[in-house]
Chain A
Amino acid sequence: MGNWDWQVFCKDTIEGEVIPSCFGSGGDITYLDWMLSAWGWTVSVALLSLVVALVFGSLMGILRTTPNRGLVFLGNAWTELFRNIPLLVQIVLWYHVIPALIPALRSVPSFLLVVAALGLFTSARISEQVRAGIQSLPRGQRMAGLAMGFTLPQTYRYVLLPMAFRIIIPPLTSESMNIVKNSSVAFAVSIAELTLFAMQAQEETSRGIEIYLAVTGLYFITAFAINRVLHFIEGRVRVPGLIAAGGK
């Protein structure tokens, strides 16, 4: 293992000199500084996209289970549109094609475009999970809610969704971890996130193995942190005895 060179992270990005503290000062930055900033971009893209995905995914998933055929069609069309086009293609569509058609979008920062693209792509997958969660409940629950005099939105709010969301926490956990990994496509639209950092820094330093190992570690830590947070939430919101599979 004599050929590792972890000092590469302490080098400054202009002259390639090793800086003793590993952190640059006075406008100089080291590869370590750059990597941490890239990690920040990755986390920002992932978390904001997750918010977009949860909002639109839940909404569309709910629409697909309503009795109104128009709403069901809207939800289905949304889901199929966003899940049948590869993610990278969607990113390029948002970045290059749509701004060509709607000039006003040209001034929108690429960060927001990529959040929209990744969020909407994932919303299709979350919509599918929300629909499955709601449909896994016995039909009697919806009927009972309506028979009690709840309106349809109230039935969803107080009867169906509380159970449905508890049921789908495990697949939602996977989806939330996926969004961290999928955020790597943001490099294609010039977001200085971890993948772009890795591609660029390995070229500049010729220490690709060290750089990729570090970036791999950061992706793992981020995804695993999300896993732990959702695992905690899953434990906290569990209703004992209501979902048989919930017990361990």
Chain B
Amino acid sequence: MNAKTMLRAGLIVAGIAAAPAFAQDTGTLKKIKDSGSVTMGVRESSGGLSFTLGDGKFAGFHVELCERALADIRKQLGMSQLNIKYQPVTSQNRIPLMQNGTIDIECGSTTNNAARQKDVAFAVTTFVEEVRIAAKANSGISSIAQLNGKNVATTTGTTSVQLLRKHERATGVDFKEVFGKDHADSFLLLESGRADAFVMDSQILAGLIAKSKSPADFKVVGEVLNVEPINIMMRKDDPAFKKAVDDSLIKLMKSGEIAKIYDKWFMQPIPPANVRIGLPASEATKAAWANPNDKPAEDYAKK
């Protein structure tokens, strides 16, 4: 390969990397109206927020909120029918897929933070997550201070990893971190005794414990380590679409209907296994419903 071909290859690679930037010249509402369809980004396994029922079907608290918002948008646009396509996404690809137009609205478990607000927009906060500790019920662990020298599991590619590192630095507590490749794997580390505790979003912990072989053996303990708003995500710089989604969500919040939808996904048995997650809405979540806003996680940390 001579220098010229190298340069050319480099330009092609650079072109591929830069391509997403050109794909968002029309508003999402126009796109929905023109194509008669909308693509919803969903998660395979994000607790009660967004999960698969198998067979290409998806459900959960955020999925239902999105479906309701899209139904309102369909009426607003005067369309008789709107075809919703579901596209599973991961933590790694959700933002690029949003930017390049593959998905139009993401209804999963995306933390709303200042860094991401540079790349994407978030609807008003619908769920506030608390990061906590899961441990075996008979372990006697009840606080993060007791984890000194213990093996602490968390999942690769989540903000909890960074959170643990910050805690370690701030308090001088020395954890031995063990990284699971996904939440189920991290829970297996706790179950098999390779880890003494599992630090993660309490919604996910509650869901994993509910689905485990013996839910009574585990419990969520200790102080709230972090509070993060989890929002429905949209493309940046599309105020008309954001307003349409926000209006629809705020309507559900004002009427109190959002609490019923929450109850359905977090307090009642949910498919596919008909288990109950059993996580009442936190005070922070209720506060977000009472005063709809899209503040990033950084604003919560200041409190």
Are A187 and B192 interface neighbours, CB within 8 A? no
Are A208 and B161 interface neighbours, CB within 8 A? no
Q: Tell me the minimal C-beta distance from B17 to chain A in angstroms.
A: 6
With the chains together, A14 CA to B169 CA distance in Å?
8
Q: Name B139-184 residues within 8 Å CB distance of A.
A: 156-159, 161-162, 165-166, 169, 177-181
A14: chain B residues at CB < 8 Å are: 165-166, 169
Q: Tell me the minimal C-beta distance from B227 to chain A in angstroms.
A: 18
Interface mask (A4-36 → B, CB under 8 Å = 1, otherwise 0): 000000000110000000000001000000000
Of A132-140, A149-157, A199-207, A231-239, the stretch lying at the interface with chain B is A199-207
A187: chain B residues at CB < 8 Å are: 156, 179, 181
B180: chain A residues at CB < 8 Å are: 190
B17: chain A residues at CB < 8 Å are: 209
B157: chain A residues at CB < 8 Å are: 199-200, 202-203
Check: B275 CB closer than 8 A to any chain A CB: no
Are B156 and A196 interface neighbours, CB within 8 A? yes
Check: A96 CB closer than 8 A to any chain B CB: yes
Q: Name A178-222 residues within 8 Å CB distance of B.
A: 187-188, 190, 192, 196, 199-200, 202-206, 208-209
Of B44-52, B75-83, B91-99, B129-137, the stretch lying at the interface with chain A is B91-99
With the chains together, A200 CA to B181 CA distance in Å?
11
Are A203 and B185 interface neighbours, CB within 8 A? no
Check: A84 CB closer than 8 A to any chain B CB: no
Are A206 and B18 interface neighbours, CB within 8 A? no
B169: chain A residues at CB < 8 Å are: 14, 27
Check: A68 CB closer than 8 A to any chain B CB: no
> Quick one: which of B21, B159, B179 contacts A3, CB cutoff 8 A?
B21
Check: A100 CB closer than 8 A to any chain B CB: yes
Q: Tell me the minimal C-beta distance from A232 to chain B in angstroms.
A: 20
| Smallest Cβ-Cβ distance to A97: which chain B residue | B192
With the chains together, A99 CA to B161 CA distance in Å?
26
Check: A1 CB closer than 8 A to any chain B CB: yes
Check: B223 CB closer than 8 A to any chain A CB: no
Q: Name A82-134 residues within 8 Å CB distance of B.
A: 96, 99-100, 106
Are A190 and B165 interface neighbours, CB within 8 A? no
Are B92 and A202 interface neighbours, CB within 8 A? yes
Q: Name B162-214 residues within 8 Å CB distance of A.
A: 162, 165-166, 169, 177-181, 185, 188, 192-194
Are A204 and B185 interface neighbours, CB within 8 A? no
Interface mask (B1-30 → A, CB under 8 Å = 1, otherwise 0): 000000000000010011001000000000
Are B162 and A206 interface neighbours, CB within 8 A? no
Check: B119 CB closer than 8 A to any chain A CB: yes
With the chains together, A96 CA to B194 CA distance in Å?
9
Q: Tell me the minimal C-beta distance from B253 to chain A in angstroms.
A: 28
A204: chain B residues at CB < 8 Å are: 159, 161-162
A202: chain B residues at CB < 8 Å are: 92, 157
> Quick one: which of A13, A99, A188 contacts B162, CB cutoff 8 A?
A13
Q: Tell me the minimal C-beta distance from A31 to chain B in angstroms.
A: 11
B159: chain A residues at CB < 8 Å are: 203-204
Are A190 and B178 interface neighbours, CB within 8 A? yes
> 12 more A-B contacts (CB under 8 A) besides A96-B188, A192-B179?
A13-B165, A188-B181, A190-B177, A190-B179, A196-B156, A196-B179, A200-B161, A203-B157, A203-B161, A206-B95, A206-B118, A208-B96
With the chains together, A101 CA to B185 CA distance in Å?
18
B301: chain A residues at CB < 8 Å are: none
9 A-B contact pairs sorted by A residue (CB < 8 Å): A14-B166, A27-B169, A99-B192, A100-B192, A188-B181, A192-B179, A200-B156, A204-B162, A208-B95
Q: Tell me the minimal C-beta distance from B209 to chain A in angstroms.
A: 19
Q: Tell me the minimal C-beta distance from B74 to chain A in angstroms.
A: 32
Check: B116 CB closer than 8 A to any chain A CB: yes
Are B179 and A206 interface neighbours, CB within 8 A? no
Q: Tell me the minimal C-beta distance from B234 to chain A in angstroms.
A: 16
Check: B273 CB closer than 8 A to any chain A CB: no
Q: Name B79-110 residues within 8 Å CB distance of A.
A: 91-92, 95-96
With the chains together, A147 CA to B177 CA distance in Å?
61
Given contacts A100-B192, A190-B179, contact A1 B162 (CB under 8 A): no
| Smallest Cβ-Cβ distance to B162: which chain A residue | A204
| Smallest Cβ-Cβ distance to B177: which chain A residue | A190
With the chains together, A106 CA to B192 CA distance in Å?
10
| Smallest Cβ-Cβ distance to B117: which chain A residue | A206
Are B192 and A96 interface neighbours, CB within 8 A? yes
Q: Tell me the minimal C-beta distance from B230 to chain A in angstroms.
A: 15
| Smallest Cβ-Cβ distance to A205: which chain B residue | B115
Q: Tell me the minimal C-beta distance from A27 to chain B in angstroms.
A: 8
Q: Tell me the minimal C-beta distance from A212 to chain B in angstroms.
A: 9
With the chains together, A211 CA to B185 CA distance in Å?
24
A188: chain B residues at CB < 8 Å are: 181, 185
With the chains together, A1 CA to B165 CA distance in Å?
33
Given contacts A196-B156, A199-B157, contact A206 B185 (CB under 8 A): no
Interface mask (A237-248 → B, CB under 8 Å = 1, otherwise 0): 000000000000
Q: Tell me the minimal C-beta distance from B58 to chain A in angstroms.
A: 22
